[in-house]
Structure 1
Amino acid sequence: MEEINRPQSLKEIAAERIREAIVQGRLKMGESLSENYLAQNLQVSKTPIREALSLLNMEGLVKIIPQKGTFVFSMDKPEIIELCELRYALESMALRYSHERNRDDLLKELESIVKSMRKDMKKEGVMHYLQLDDSFHNSFFNYCENRYMKDTYRMINARVSALRNFVTGSVESSLQLSLEHHEKILESLKADKLDEAVQILENHIINWLKKVDIHPSYAEE
């Protein structure tokens, strides 16, 4: 039987738009979310907005506090460290599996992404570069052939992306160093130096945590 192509519901469309606004930083971490404002902005009733916020609450992107309201997620430094530990555990294993199981397809996709990253660096297209950064890491899961690992990463990916955009996009020279890390990971994978690629990935995530330390929002914690 052929798969039924079901159109997106208003709830799903609203959730997608709000998720995108959070990840791209147009809705700030910790910001209060008004159902009325979101409904007017997206030109829908409050019912799909309420359903969308409930969905995003399950994803950890918003926090619904009874009798207080709904807020964009926020994290203190210890929570970010825990998230990065989980991120590294998942990404390092997904990278190993994808290289072992679908090496050629993985390298083809990563090469295309890195090529686009270089172009964006020259054009100074920060937001598109950060989207490519997200795609680079998601590629590990596209080819790892482990649905449970992929589903687990999907549950944290939006928060990882939002934090990456918040920190990386605001620290001078971050994008250039980020590009160098991604290029080195790719070169190690092409040379079949998998352990080296995983080590660079670990250093990449550790370096990102150092940016959190110097970011004004976290420097005094």
Structure 2
Amino acid sequence: MSDAPTLDYERRFRRSGARLLAGIDEVGRGALAGPVSVGIAVVDLQRQKLLADVRDSKLLKVADRERLVPVVRDWSVASAVGHASANEIDELGIIGALRLAGNRAWCAVLAAGVRPEVVLLDGSHNWLSPDLQPSLFDEAPADPGCDAPVHTLVKADMQCLSVAAASILAKVERDRMMSELHIEYPGYGWDENKGYGTAAHKEALRAAGPTPYHRVSWQLL
């Protein structure tokens, strides 16, 4: 197993006076079908302790991810997962859909009475900060979206515990959604490929065409 992520990087933000930090990660960005999902795990930089066994979700077995979800939720000050559907990806593009899913998760954290002061986002591009176009939301949120400073870090899910925790929440919730959609459309193998472009998934697309859960604006084949 890889080295355990820590809170060392997150704790640097204490120098600027921050206490509540939201680690954020996404899953499903490159899939052909299903939603894109964004997880948030909020940590208290003054009090939070390390959490054993948590790694980037891609490094964990299915059973370990499932087992760690309640552990992560109990450990976090607050947590949430937001989703944007395939239709919303087609309408907004993947960056707009990531922003929509992320801000849905953000609003859920705010609804729980927690307001993070800083965000740590996996990757090199800040796709989270709200676009001022109201069309990004299909419902009118009580909050316009993430208004905290956003810091990006490549491979944050590998080294930062808050982001690794968020990745587990997003991965497990999205995988469960894809398994449920597999029951409706069993021919595409979503219980196994989770909507990604495997050879079997593409062969099913050639034979039967796309479903309402495919991202039809994409080059599927």
Short-chain TM bin: under 0.3
Greater Rg over alpha carbons, structure: 1
Task: Please give the TM-score of this superposition, normalised by the length of structure 2.
Answer: 0.24
Give the structure with the larger strand fraction.
Answer: 2
Give the structure with the larger helix fraction.
Answer: 1
Task: Please give the TM-score of this superposition, normalised by the length of structure 1.
Answer: 0.24
